[in-house]
Amino acid sequence: MVEDGVSDLNEIRPSTITKFISKQQDRCVVTRAYLGRFSTFFNYLIEEELYTHPNPVIPRRHYQNARGSEPRPYNDPQLAALWALVEASDKYELMLAFAIGEECGLRIGEVANIRLSDVDLRAQKIFVRLPTKNGRTRSVPFHDRVKKYLGLWLARRSVHCPTEHPPQPGRPPLLPHSARYLVQESAPRPR
């Protein structure tokens, strides 16, 4: 800050901090962790009566909101490798859960919460019930892969669980709860 003509701490103002932040950005320093230290330092100086102005670090002006992590979508080779693992498991519920996640863009918790009554085969839509990340229900379209694995899963399931029973409110989800963990264990995160 001496290069900016500041020779005394009492000459530092909010505009000085703003110029300093700008210079840090020009140097490609993207973090602003130093601002907390500056603020603490100036609070100390004010408390000790060594700085006669309000703290020059102004939270609404100088701090920026931390950005969330960017999505890291899988590329085609990664998806092909994941599908190979999923299909090798010979578990149709896992294949169906994976297909729903891929084609419909649902989160694993949303997939695990789907009930058979939420699937409209004629309109090829799935109703996504609460809880969701944004707190809203919605309907999402599905395509060929979901339709394929839903048919295979229903055919295998009907052997063990006849479908002629009338639907019951609050009946169990379309996929067993264990399918959620199967997907999580089978799908390594991209790097």
pLDDT number for residue 56: 92
Residue 70 belongs to some domain of the structure: no
Q: Whole-angstrom Cα distance, residue 93 to residue 113?
A: 13
pLDDT number for residue 161: 57
Does 52 lie in the same domain as 131? no
- Cβ-proximal residues to 161 (8 Å cutoff; 6+ apart), any chain: none
Residue 33 belongs to some domain of the structure: yes
Which residues in the chain show pLDDT less than 50?
Answer: 162-172, 177-183, 186-187
- Cβ-proximal residues to 164 (8 Å cutoff; 6+ apart), any chain: none
Q: Whole-angstrom Cα distance, residue 32 to residue 21?
A: 8
Does 181 lie in the same domain as 145? yes
Helix 177-186 to helix 92-104 angle (10° resolution) is 70
Residue 179 belongs to some domain of the structure: yes
Does 107 lie in the same domain as 54? no
Does 9 lie in the same domain as 95? no
Predicted structure pTM score: 0.52
pLDDT number for residue 139: 92
Q: Which two tokens stand for residue 38?
A: 């500056």
Residue 67 belongs to some domain of the structure: no
pLDDT number for residue 35: 86
pLDDT number for residue 166: 43
CA atoms within 13 A on the CB side of 64: 12
Does 85 lie in the same domain as 39? no
Does 48 lie in the same domain as 92? no
Does 160 lie in the same domain as 129? yes
pLDDT number for residue 144: 92
Number of domains observed in the structure of the chain? 2
CB 129 within 8 A of CB 94: no
DSSP one-letter string for 22-73: HHHHHTT----THHHHHHHHHHHHHHTT---S--S--HHHH--PPPPPPP--
Q: Which two tokens stand for residue 166?
A: 């009338």
Q: Whole-angstrom Cα distance, residue 139 to residue 112?
A: 15
What domain range is 181 assigned to?
A: 76-186
Helical ranges in the chain per DSSP H: 14-26, 34-47, 59-62, 76-88, 92-104, 108-112, 144-160, 177-186
